[in-house]
Amino acid sequence: MGLIEITDKKLKQDILDRRILTSDQEWAIRHTAHLAFEKLVEMSGKSLGAVDIFFFEARKRCPEMTIPECEKCSVELVCAQKKELFQPVYRTTFY
């Protein structure tokens, strides 16, 4: 959606090249995304759960592993649609 912007040129290129990130890089991105999410909850006036389920459901149209269906998405008009910034997700059973 473009809620955060990666301004570090090397990090952005690593993401564009789909390189594996360091744990510090991963943490910095996830932490920034978390702060943006909290701000979105605050600005929307919706509950954390409502915003979370909205984005969870959006994964049907904007999946991690295939081409997004932007035309079917309810936030298409405000989304940055930076599809090239896809970052592979490594699954874990650590949870």
| pLDDT for position 22 | 86
Domain membership of residue 70 as a residue range: 9-85
Give per-residue pLDDT as tens, 16-60.
888 888 888 888 988 998 999 999 999 999 999 999 998 888 878
- In-domain check, residue 20: yes
- In-domain check, residue 1: no
CA distance 50 to 22: 31
**More confident of the two residues 8 and 80:** 8
Element (H, E) at 22: none
- In-domain check, residue 90: no
Task: Give CA separation, 30 vs 4, 5, 21, 33, 53, in Å.
Answer: 10, 12, 12, 5, 18
- In-domain check, residue 51: yes
Q: How many domains does the chain have?
A: 1
- In-domain check, residue 92: no
Flag whether the pTM goes above 0.75: no
- In-domain check, residue 19: yes
- In-domain check, residue 79: yes
- In-domain check, residue 4: no
